[in-house]
Structure 1
């Protein structure tokens, strides 16, 4: 089985500034700058045909991992290899809100390297799949979250990528479109494509994914068979939800504090 995405000891860190003075100090003394580990020591391999659900509470690092796969965020250290074209579906991903939906189709596909002729041939399919009708001629800034998601999803699945990253894009919109989108992803699954699926909807994750990567505090807590890892994660959620609001905040704060460091 061929590997499509490989992470080897990948870290992603950000510098944290609270004032312009700290930014200036970083120029002369970078060791004095506080840093934040968005991801720490991530090692996992996705193979062709893998449908990997990325789960974890808010702020755990799921979207950072997704953006790294999509290419919009560089890693700080480690190794990352991708074999094939990657598309990311997330609300607003790659969309210019000042342009119309139709212009965004051309804009995004040009960025993907498609020719004017190819874009013209694929545009009717994208419009039909999006179900936006005459709204396709309206500026995206007037779209609802569901409409943005429909447009982004329609563009990404029509161009037929090798690796697809879906970041909460099916959490908005109507159930009919969600089901149509899931059916399309099943086609990708059958074609041996690799899909990373970020969602808090564990029913969708269980029904669609083959493997689960549980991210907690920027670390890979568990990775493997969906039933095994989901059982672990659901046990965690059950205990987490039993905590008071104050205790939940403390839990998240402790996780975050552990991610701050100085070099």
Structure 2
């Protein structure tokens, strides 16, 4: 199988400061200042063309950070990401300029990706029809609901026909009819052999649509493999976690948080 995404030892570190003055101290101090938070640590995996991979994990595990790195929105602190083709991220807030109208956002996004005026004129009606947000297409995006932003973002991304599609909770808002329409479109992409990463809290959607699962557990890869093997293990973990007392959950979260923090 031909590889489409190769992620090797990717780590993403953020600096955390108690006050703004610590940012200046961090710049001038030889050893740095403040604490480092590791959103991701040593992430490695490979995806093939045609793979549909569900990225699973509890809140705060680093799923969105990873999706942004795969899509090229943010760089890793260390490690490498090799992408073969054009990648597009679909997230509720992704890539939309709030002061511009929906129509202006379509044109801007297409221009940034190298489409010429003729191509944009041809694509715009298709994008508007798929988004199905009515007269709001000519209103500033800042007036949109989260569902409308998701509709527009999804419509733009799928019509620019990327090789790698990263969908981060974009189907978690809005109505079921639109979600079904999106899943149908994603199935078309699957049939074309495109690589799809799918992040969703809907385990049923994951099982229905994805063939592989990448379980991110607080910044690390816990398991990666066939959905039929990884998802049952993840569901067992969730069941055990839910049965914990408040004290046990707090102790568990604190131990995990400690492993992801260190002084500069």
Equivalent in the alignment of 2:24: 24
**In structure 1, what is the equivalent of residue 108 of structure 2?**
107
Question: Is residue 2:174 matched to residue 1:168?
Answer: no
C-alpha deviation, 1:31, in angstroms: 2.7
Aligned partner of residue 172 in structure 1, secondary structure: coil
The answer to whether residue 66 in structure 2 is matched with residue 65 in structure 1 is yes
Secondary structure, counterpart of 1:31 in structure 2: coil
The alpha-carbon deviation at position 26 of structure 1 amounts to 1.2
1:129 maps onto 2:130 in alignment: yes
> What stretches of structure 1 of length at least 5 have no aligned partner?
none
Aligned to 2:160: 159
1:220 paired to 2:218: no
Shift of residue 28 of structure 1? 2.6
Q: How does 1:8-157 map to 2 (within 5 A)?
A: 8-33=8-33, 34-157=35-158
Of 109-118 and 65-74, deviating more is 109-118
What SS is found at the alignment partner of 1:7? strand
- CA offsets, 1:15-44, max 9 Å, x none? 111123322221232534311111001110
Which position in structure 2 is the counterpart of 1:2?
Answer: 2
How far apart are 1:253 and its partner, in Å?
Answer: 2.6
| Matched positions, count | 263
Matches of 2:20 and 2:89, distance apart in 1: 34
Unaligned runs of 5+ in 2: none
TM-score by length of structure 2 reads 0.96
* RMSD between aligned residues: 1.2
Q: Equivalent residue for 1:184?
A: 185
Report the CA distance shift for 1:49/1:30 in structure 2 as closer, same or farther (over 3 A): farther
